[in-house]
Amino acid sequence: MAVLIDKDTKLVVSGITGREGTFHATNNKNYGTNVVAGVTPGKAGQNVEGIPVFNTFKDSVDETGANVAMVFVPPRFAADSILEAADAGIPLVICITEGIPAHDELRVYTHLQRTGTRLVGPNCPGILSPGKANVGIIPASFFKEGNVGVVSRSGTLTYQIGNTLAQAGFGNSSIVGIGGDPVPGTSFIDVIELFEADDQTELIVLSGEIGGDAEERAAEYIADHVKKPVVAYIAGFTAPPGKTMGHAGAIVSGSKGTAAAKAEALEAKGVRVGRTPTQVAEIAVDILGG
C-alpha cells in the first residue's frame, strides 16, 4: 500500500496548458501516474501530450472518472479552482500553488471540512508514492519504494531528508508535502493517522519548521494514537522572531512557534528529534537497522 495516491489514482490537472502545468503534468505522466485529464476553461477539445483538456472539473470527472485533482493555477485563481474540484465530487485535491491569500485558505478549509473533500497543500510539493504515482513536483528519481513514510511542511527539505535516508538504504512508502502556509488543508496528524494504518509504512518521519503549533499537536496525537516509531526534524532554530522565513506560515510570533519548543514537545512524547537531516537518517538506521 501507500497513502493518498497509488496505481488507482486518476489525476486531473488544472492549469495544464500553462508552462508549469504542462511541464509537471507531463513529468507526472512519464513517471507512470495515470494522468487522465486537464482543465483549462475555454480549451476543451485540446490535448497536452495526449492528455485531454476539459473546460470544467465536472466534465473531466464525467468523462474520465478522475478521482484526484492537482491545482497548478496562479494564487488569485487557486481557491476557486480547489472549490470547483471539490464541487465536482473529487475526493482529493492537491494544491501546489504558493501565495494564496490566507482568508481564501480559511474559507476553503472551512467549506471542505463540511463536504469531506481532502485538500493537501497549498504551497506544497505534492505527494510521491514511489513506484506507484507521483503528483506534484517532487524529483522522483531520488526516491525508491520502501518502508519509511515522510510528512513535511517543506519541499526541498523533504528532498534533503529523503536523500539522506536513501543514502542510508531506505525507501519510502509515501512522501507527503503538506505545505508551509498558515492553513494547510491536511495536517501532520491527518497524514500520521494514514501512515499508522498503512501496511507498507514501518517508520514515520515528520519534518517540521517554526510557526504555528502543528508539531506540538502532532506530538500529543502521536503519544495517544501511534504505535509505529516516529522520527522528527525541525528547521528554524536560528530564525529571528517576527520575520517570515520564506513560507507564509513560518514565523515566530512573540514567544510562540519556536523550533526549540517544538522539538521539546516532540521529545517529551518520546519522539526522537534529529538536529540535522543527517541525524534523522542515523536515527532511522538505529530504529530499523541499517
Partner 1 sequence: MDLLEYQGKQLFARHGIPVPDGRPARTVDEAVSAAKEVGFPCAIKAQVKIGGRGKAGGIKIAQNEDEAREYSDAILGMDIKGFTVHEVWIEGASQIESEYYASIVFDRGAKAPLIMLSTQGGMDIEEVADNNPDAIATLHVDPLLGFQDFHGRRLAFAAGVDADLVRPVGAFLHQLYGTFVAEEAMLVEVNPLIVTPERTVAALDAKVTLDDNALFRHPDNAELRDPSDEDPQEQMAKERGLTFVKLDGDIGILGNGAGLVMSTLDVVAQYGGAPANFLDAGGGSKAEAITSAVEVILSNDKVNAVLFNIFGGITRCDEVANGLIEAFKQLNPSVPFVVRLDGTNDVEGRKILAEAQLPNVHTAATMDEAAEKVVALAKGEDA
Q: Cα–Cα distance between 86 and 81 in angstroms, integer?
A: 9
Buried b (16+ CB within 10 A) or exposed e, 19-47: eebbebbbbbbebebbbbbbbbeeebeee
One-letter amino acid for residue 143 of the chain: F
Indicate the length of the chain as a whole number. 290
- CB 45 to partner 1: min, Å: 30
To the query of whether residue 247 is one of the catalytic residues in this protein, the response is yes
C-beta closer to partner 1: residue 39 or 128: 128
**What grid cell was written down for 106?**
480559511
Smallest gap from residue 164 Cβ to partner 1 (A): 8
According to the binding rule CB under 8 A, does residue 26 interact with partner 1? no
Instruction: Please give the Cα distance from 145 to 129 (Å, whole number).
Output: 8
Stretch binding partner 1 (CB under 8 A), from 35-43, 46-54, 159-167, 198-206: 159-167
Distance (Å, whole) CA 222 – CA 236: 22
CB 11 within 8 A of CB 132: no
Residue from 32, 65, 107, 225 binding partner 1 (CB under 8 A): 107
DSSP annotation of 239: P
Residue 277 binds partner 1, judged by CB under 8 A: yes
Out of 10, 153, 262, 269, point to the residue binding partner 1 (CB under 8 A).
153
> Which member of 3, 222, 230, 259 binds partner 1 (CB under 8 A)?
259
CA pair distance 153, 250, nearest whole angstrom: 10
Per-residue binding string, partner 1, 224-243, x by CB under 8 A, is ---------x-xxxxxx--x
Tell me whether residue 123 or residue 173 sits nearer to partner 1 (CB atom): 123
Our finding on whether 126 is near partner 1 (CB under 8 A) is: no
- Whether the CB-CB separation of 57 and 85 falls below 8 Å is answered with yes
Which member of 14, 81, 160, 258 binds partner 1 (CB under 8 A)? 160
By C-beta, is 59 or 104 nearer to partner 1? Answer: 104
Q: Tell me the residue type at 21.
A: G
**Which CB atom, from 47 or from 115, has the smaller least distance to partner 1?**
115
Does 77 contact partner 1 by CB under 8 A? no
Task: Return the C-alpha torsion angle 132, 109, 188, 182, nearest 10.
Answer: 120
Residue 71 is placed in which grid cell? 491545482
Is the CB of 60 or the CB of 160 nearer to partner 1?
160
Catalytic one of 24, 111, 225, 247:
247
Closest separation in Å from C-beta 239 to partner 1? 6
Q: Which active-site residues does the annotation give?
A: 247
